[in-house]
């Protein structure tokens, strides 16, 4: 049967390369070999820092990082700002993240796409106090420790760095193969300040010990890059959001999700903030809404209450609360800042 098949006559043997083609292939192979030999890794940027203030210590020997003695909280009532009172200029490219100094807020840390991290004086001069250089590429996220003496930074050079805020020295560099950190968080408990969580582009959340620099746990359930990590329930649990358009709840230290929140109507949520009372989360949804989720046992999404009116689709605009919890604040794709009343969900004009 095989010898009589009509396809047998149509079989054509593979044609051999001509002399000219062989010559071209040999030249290309030689060229590739030369390029592979001469190709070297890009030079790593040396970790360094520059202080821009007058003196690192005042007449009484206090560090420039310490909050001023005269700085006192006037009241617990927050108001919607009426006008711009100061602009900080210094980054040569767009700013990816800003963080206020814990408790006092007298300093402002900023991470730029120019691979620089800067810290600014808020209370007095309004000038840049120190510049931190260490990342080779754009800086994605930053996070202060509880006392503000240290901070974390993650960049597109696939490194997570732990910095000393005062001296500008890199205490430790955390990195792993194929790990591009999108968000970093210190554990909020004072006795766990050596524990760091990093949400990465490879769909995993890594738990680091900064004392040893080792990965002690991996949380691997997401189907897309991890965008945010938020601790809830007295820091016993944390919530993560991802490009897979889901929200997942984890018990800290146990790499198995305890709650999976997904819906066909849900969009990716690049930014999440916890209400000061700890009972609610708000998340920036990429369908031009800020959605609410309860942090009680059921972790239920509130479909009836949403904050809208801004344009955030396609942009990872940050969302947050005022310290007293009365206002929800969000950025906007057109450079505006929106304020909503937490109780009524109405926009302040």
Q: What is the mean pLDDT of residues 31-45?
A: 66
- pLDDT above 70: residue 13: no
The pLDDT confidence band at residue 4, using thresholds 50, 70 and 90, is low
Classify the C-alpha dihedral 111-112-116-122 as positive or negative: negative
The residue with greater pLDDT, 44 or 148, is 148
The per-residue pLDDT for 15 is 61
Torsion angle (degrees, nearest 10) of CA 184, 188, 189, 193: 30
- Cβ atoms < 10 Å from Cβ of 135: 25
- pLDDT above 90: residue 336: no
The per-residue pLDDT for 348 is 84
- Cβ atoms < 10 Å from Cβ of 335: 6
The strand pair at 337-341 and 301-308 is best described as: unpaired
- pLDDT above 70: residue 230: yes
| Helix boundaries (H) for the chain | 19-38
Average pLDDT for the chain? 86
- Using DSSP, state whether 36 is helix, strand or coil: helix
Per-residue pLDDT tens for 303-322?
Answer: 888 998 898 888 888 899 99
The per-residue pLDDT for 37 is 67
Per-residue pLDDT tens for 62-115?
Answer: 888 888 887 777 777 888 888 888 899 999 999 999 999 998 888 999 999 999
Q: Over pLDDT 90: what percentage of the chain?
A: 43
- pLDDT above 50: residue 45: yes
The pLDDT confidence band at residue 25, using thresholds 50, 70 and 90, is confident
Task: Indicate left, alpha or beta for 194 from its phi (over 0: left) and psi (-120 to 50: alpha).
Answer: alpha
Nearest to 98 by CA among 151, 56, 164, 158: 151
The per-residue pLDDT for 241 is 93
Rg of the chain taking only CA atoms, in angstroms: 26
- Cβ atoms < 10 Å from Cβ of 315: 14
The pLDDT confidence band at residue 39, using thresholds 50, 70 and 90, is low
Cβ atoms of 118 and 112 within 8 Å: the answer is: yes
- Using DSSP, state whether 336 is helix, strand or coil: coil
The pLDDT confidence band at residue 11, using thresholds 50, 70 and 90, is low
The pLDDT confidence band at residue 2, using thresholds 50, 70 and 90, is very low
Strand partners, 339: 329
Q: Which long-range contacts (CB under 8 A, 24 or more apart) does 117-124 make?
A: 117/142, 117/153, 117/163, 118/90, 118/91, 119/165, 120/88, 120/90, 121/53, 123/67, 123/68, 123/71, 124/68
Q: What is the full DSSP assignment across 115-135?
A: SEEEEEESSSS--EEEEEE--
- pLDDT above 90: residue 154: yes
- pLDDT above 60: residue 8: no
- pLDDT above 90: residue 56: no
Per-residue pLDDT tens for 203-225?
Answer: 999 999 998 888 999 999 899 99
Cβ atoms of 134 and 116 within 8 Å: the answer is: no
pTM, two decimals, is: 0.81
């Amino acid at each position: 049967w095989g010898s009589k098949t009509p396809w047998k006559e149509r079989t054509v043997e593979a044609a051999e390369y001509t002399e000219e083609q062989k010559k071209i292939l040999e030249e290309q192979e030689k060229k590739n070999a030369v390029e592979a030999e001469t190709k070297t890794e890009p030079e790593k940027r040396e970790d360094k820092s520059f202080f821009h203030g007058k003196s690192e210590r005042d007449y009484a020997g206090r560090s420039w990082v310490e909050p001023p003695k005269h700085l006192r909280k006037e009241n617990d009532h927050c108001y919607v700002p009426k006008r711009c009172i100061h602009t900080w200029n210094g980054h040569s490219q767009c700013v990816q993240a800003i963080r206020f100094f814990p408790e006092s807020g007298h300093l402002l840390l900023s991470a730029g796409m120019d691979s620089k991290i800067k810290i600014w004086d808020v209370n007095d001069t309004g000038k840049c106090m120190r510049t931190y250089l260490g990342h080779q590429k754009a800086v994605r996220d930053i996070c202060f420790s509880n006392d503000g003496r240290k901070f974390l930074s993650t960049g597109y050079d696939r490194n997570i760095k732990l910095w000393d805020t005062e001296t500008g020295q890199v205490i430790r560099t955390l990195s792993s193969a194929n790990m591009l950190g999108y968000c970093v968080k210190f554990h909020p408990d004072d006795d766990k300040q050596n524990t760091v969580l990093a949400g990465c582009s490879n769909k995993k959340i890594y738990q680091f010990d900064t004392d040893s620099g080792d990965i002690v746990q991996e949380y691997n359930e997401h189907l897309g890059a991890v965008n945010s990590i938020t601790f809830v329930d007295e820091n016993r649990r944390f919530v993560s959001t991802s490009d897979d358009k889901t929200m997942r709840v984890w018990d800290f230290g146990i790499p198995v999700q305890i709650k999976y929140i997904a819906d066909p109507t849900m969009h990716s949520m690049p930014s999440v903030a916890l209400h000061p009372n700890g009972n609610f989360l708000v998340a920036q949804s990429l369908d031009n809404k800020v959605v609410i989720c309860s942090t009680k046992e059921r972790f239920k999404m509130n479909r009836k209450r949403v904050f809208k009116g801004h344009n955030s689709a396609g942009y990872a605009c940050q969302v947050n609360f005022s310290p007293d919890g009365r206002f929800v604040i969000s950025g906007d794709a057109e450079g505006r800042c929106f304020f909503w009343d937490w109780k009524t969900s109405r926009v302040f004009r």
